[in-house]
Amino acid sequence: MSNSVIKCESVYKIFGANAKKMLDEAKGNVDAKTFQDNGCIVGVNNASFEVAKGEMLVVMGLSGSGKSTLLRCISRLTDATSGKIFIDGHDLLSLNNKELIELRRNKMGMVFQSFALLPHKTVVENIAFPLQIKGIKTKDSINKAMEMVKLVGLEGRENYFPRELSGGQQQRVGIARSLAVEPDIWFLDEPFSALDPLIRKEMQDEFLRLQGKLQKTIMFITHDFDEALKLADRIAIMKDGIIEQLDTPANIVLNPATEYVRKFTEEVPREKVLLIEDVMDETTNDNLSDLKVSKDEIIENVAEKILTQEKTVAVVDSNNQIIGSINPSKIINTVFGGRKNNS
């Protein structure tokens, strides 16, 4: 991946007094139980991957899987025990404190589950605060903060204090504050998990809208598989510090690499995740229906139309050229074939 912004090579994070010694002796063959028996906890186990410019990689796993530890290593809030991490080609682990602070200030934005807003400052003052730390004049920082207020839909509330806002509104302030410094890379650790389901869905939609506009390079941490499917360009599923599979949402649903991944995917409504392109046949015949569907359509949006056809339906690209076909029976198999039979 030549345009990678984040690159990890064999990253390990082991907690414990003998961590480095045990890792050296293991020669890359890290067994979590053996390490635990010797007083060490494996946080991240041999993580290697890249994140492309403008890509959203969602790292997903249950509590204790190592997802937040991985993010902390990549932002260097904690130091990896071993391995290499590159941010825009810079070797993160070789940077001194001054260089690291500079990189964080100018390249990275971070949002965490706890909003950590300053209670005595208004919305606009909270958003302007990191700009003022960078030395930007008060007037300029407030003007920039007001742009961010509009971007996250909080116009009219810029002079409210955090206690006067709902949880969703507070998290919007946290997002606006991290965006104010115009980071190239955005790290988000379970930013919506403290919100109630309705507000959470609103924030996910808002987040996708922002990303469509801003095209940041993003690592987003969640324990919610539905959230991962909705937001991700690619998903990394972690268990016991190991990345079990890193792939597109469609490939994870269609081709789970391990039994652990399969358990996450078996109840997923496939029609909400897969595109026509993911399940079409690349061959066509002359006996096609008059209906044409785009390869980029989510199956759920066009399933009903396809199922009313007696003939195979043509699949077209953005230039309206036929590139494949899909049979109504394929839709039925896709929607119902991958589920457990609960009847």
CA distance 250 to 274: 5
Confidence of residue 1 (pLDDT cuts 50, 70, 90): low
Confidence of residue 342 (pLDDT cuts 50, 70, 90): very low
Q: Which residues contact 323 (CB under 8 A, 6 or more apart)?
A: 280, 282, 295, 315, 316, 317
What tokens does 298 get? 């989510």
CA distance 258 to 314: 34
- pLDDT computed for residue 214 by the predictor: 86
pLDDT at 261 over 90: yes
Confidence of residue 340 (pLDDT cuts 50, 70, 90): very low
- pLDDT computed for residue 112 by the predictor: 80
The pTM (predicted TM-score) of the whole model is 0.84
Intervals of CATH 3.40.50.300 along the chain: 4-270
- Each residue of 80-89: pLDDT tens digit? 999 999 999 9
- Each residue of 226-259: pLDDT tens digit? 899 889 999 999 999 999 999 999 899 889 999 9
- Each residue of 136-162: pLDDT tens digit? 999 999 999 999 898 888 999 999 999
Of 92, 5, 91, 8, whose CA–CA distance to 49 is shortest? Answer: 8
Radius of gyration of the chain (CA): 23
Intervals of CATH 3.10.580.10 along the chain: 271-337
Please give the CATH number for the structural domain made up of 271-337. Answer: 3.10.580.10
Confidence of residue 338 (pLDDT cuts 50, 70, 90): low
Please give the CATH number for the structural domain made up of 4-270. Answer: 3.40.50.300
